[in-house]
Amino acid sequence: MVTYSYDQGKLDIQESKDGEDTSFAIRVIGDDPQMLQGLKQVQRTFEENQDFDDVLFYAYPGHEYKIIVQQQYYDDFVTELFKARLLDSVARK
């Protein structure tokens, strides 16, 4: 199991199971350019790889995103969030 922490003043992250996949609802609070650029960086990482349905991004008004992550890519996705400085820490329990 992977746990993570983030600045709740900049992001709101809700995670839920969606069948075999994990669904993330991520909202950027305010217009923090670092958070917005970080999410775009993570999206590009998964769009540019060879697996087209590993992580699916859906953007909504108000800097809200729904992201569906296949189970086998969960750790990769969380790691990319950390690399983009959207998460403060990541730990395996």
Query: Mean pLDDT by 10-residue block, N- to C-terminus, for the chain (93 residues)?
Result: 95 96 96 94 92 91 96 96 98 91
Query: pLDDT value at position 52?
Result: 77
Q: Find the CATH number of the domain harbouring 38.
A: 3.30.70
- 4 in any annotated domain: no
- 79 in any annotated domain: yes
Query: pLDDT value at position 51?
Result: 80
Query: pLDDT value at position 53?
Result: 83
Query: pLDDT value at position 31?
Result: 87
Number of domains within the chain: 1
Query: pLDDT value at position 37?
Result: 97
- 73 in any annotated domain: yes
Give me Rg for the CA atoms of the chain.
12
Global pTM reads 0.93
By residue range, what is the domain housing residue 74? 9-85
- 23 in any annotated domain: yes
